Amino acid sequence: MKQIWKMTASEIADAVRSKKLSATEVTRAHLDRLDEVNPKINAVVQEFPEEALQAAQQVDNAISQGEDPGVLCGVPVTVKVNVDQKGHASTNGVRLLKDLVALDDSPVVSNIRKAGGVIVGRTNTPAFSLRWFTNNSLHGQTLNPRNRNITPGGSSGGAAAAVAAGICAMGHGTDIAGSIRYPAYACGLHGLRPTFGRVPAYNASAPDRYIGAQLMAVSGPIARSIPDLELSLAAMTATDMRDPWYRAAPMDNADIPKRAALTLAPDGMEVAPEVHAALIEASEKLKSAGWTVEEVDCPPLRAAAEVNARLWMAETQFGQGDMIEREADPDSQFVFEQMSSDTGVVGLESLMSALQERIGLIRQWEMFLQDYPLFVCPVSGVLPFEQQLDVSSKEAFAKVFEAQLTQRALPVIGVPSLSVATGEVNNRPVGVQLVASRFREDILLSAGRDIERACEPVSVAEPTWS
């Protein structure tokens, strides 16, 4: 048997359920791996080994009594520090929140526990979860275990780095503008942004969020295999009525039309040759698996990205602007200044028009996705960025912002999207993004499996620097 920390979540769940391994044995192996590699990459910023081992023992006890612990059945999981986990601080990478200890689990954490997942640590995020890079004044910088010179992504950069390094088999992330999909891309993994409303969300430690985040922010999984995403999604989506937006929708709709649209450069965005090549290769893999792929223009993404910016900045300016100033984290201040400069002050008229534009964009995209049940496009316009590129200058920030067009646009539409790793180019991961109609994650996972089967399996990274 391969080293335990190299096993996928599906392999671990099967091994624990069949008693080939105990959940305690699996957890100890991952905690040892955490001790070995985390000092090099700083992915996990809150550790609680005894608590993790107690959770593992509960799984083993359930199995010994003939009970089913749930679909995750002893799988080691990490949780991002911007969601509530009872007894731990929901810092969101912010010094001002370092003592904000949660009294209860958020729905997604509760669902992971109920499914038999074992939480082995909490992962880093940029301050206020505001960037596609992971660095803050409270927890420090997270490095990419595949290449320390490039970003691990953000804002779920700690989650992706932990999965890539074998600290956990599945990482929980959140996504309002690419914060699951981009870290998966940057760390050579797969990441699923579920449909808005699919995974229940609520943090009792803070006031409810404003309308932009309510409509665009979701939780989802990052993993090393597509079946692991499917397993994780099944766990995360259990009913929790603390979220009024939650919808218990079917997970498997059976009918999967193998018809796809490919757009190489949506809305004229600049796409690097390596990304272009990955898209062509992925479309050929889909064709070999029986999909019809047609290269077409897609509905507007740039207009959707502009709506995202206004909704996001309306929330940030109104609810967090003063806090960003008081926190005085230089990276988040710079990013906030650039985004505010781009959108201006988002007042009532701008906010109302953004919400009006959003419904029209959703209409166009849903009609498009009826004709093409699968949409294939770039995750990012370029290979993963160099560390801290976005805060190096105004010009660099503008280039980063433009390259992330699809990351920013799709949350406005509310559709699920999947970042699929396809390989490496020049020591940098590359991949493609798949999009489907609302609550059709089954189409994404089916297409993702077809691409995955034609690629080299995702490996665990070994950070070799001292």
Examine the residue annotation and report whether 417 is marked as an active-site residue of this protein.
Answer: no
- Map residue 417 onto helix, strand or coil: strand
CA proximity to 439, closest of 252, 266, 314? 252
CA proximity to 293, closest of 239, 372, 363? 372
**Region of residue 105 (left: phi > 0; alpha: psi -120 to 50; beta: else):** beta
Q: Please tell me which residue in 22, 80, 156, 283 is annotated as part of the active site.
A: 80
**Residue 19, φ and ψ in degrees, nearest 5:** 70, 20
**Residue 337, φ and ψ in degrees, nearest 5:** -65, -45
On whether the CB atoms of residues 159 and 31 are closer than 8 A, the answer is no
CA proximity to 165, closest of 51, 36, 74? 36
Q: Do the bridges between strand 417-425 and strand 428-435 make them parallel or antiparallel, or are there none, so unpaired?
A: antiparallel
Q: At what angle do helices 107-114 and 226-236 cross, to 10 degrees?
A: 110
Cβ-Cβ contacts under 8 Å for 360 (sequence gap 6 or more): none
Q: Please tell me which residue in 22, 110, 129, 155 is annotated as part of the active site.
A: 155
Cβ-Cβ contacts under 8 Å for 277 (sequence gap 6 or more): none
DSSP sequence for 230-290: HHHHHHHTS--TT-TT-----S--S----EEEE-SSGGG----HHHHHHHHHHHHHHHHTT
- Residue 262's DSSP bridge partners are 295, 376
Q: Which pair of structure tokens corresponds to residue 64? A: 């010994």
Distance CA 16, CA 9 (A): 11
Q: What beta strand segments (E) does 343-393 contain?
A: 374-377
Q: Do the bridges between strand 417-425 and strand 374-377 make them parallel or antiparallel, or are there none, so unpaired?
A: unpaired
Q: Please tell me which residue in 156, 179, 332, 380 is annotated as part of the active site.
A: 179
Examine the residue annotation and report whether 155 is marked as an active-site residue of this protein.
Answer: yes
Distance CA 132, CA 284 (A): 29
On whether the CB atoms of residues 93 and 126 are closer than 8 A, the answer is yes
Examine the residue annotation and report whether 80 is marked as an active-site residue of this protein.
Answer: yes
Cβ-Cβ contacts under 8 Å for 289 (sequence gap 6 or more): 258, 450, 453, 454
DSSP H stretches of helix in 43-140: 49-64, 107-114
CA proximity to 192, closest of 218, 213, 166? 218
The set of catalytic residues is: 80, 155, 179
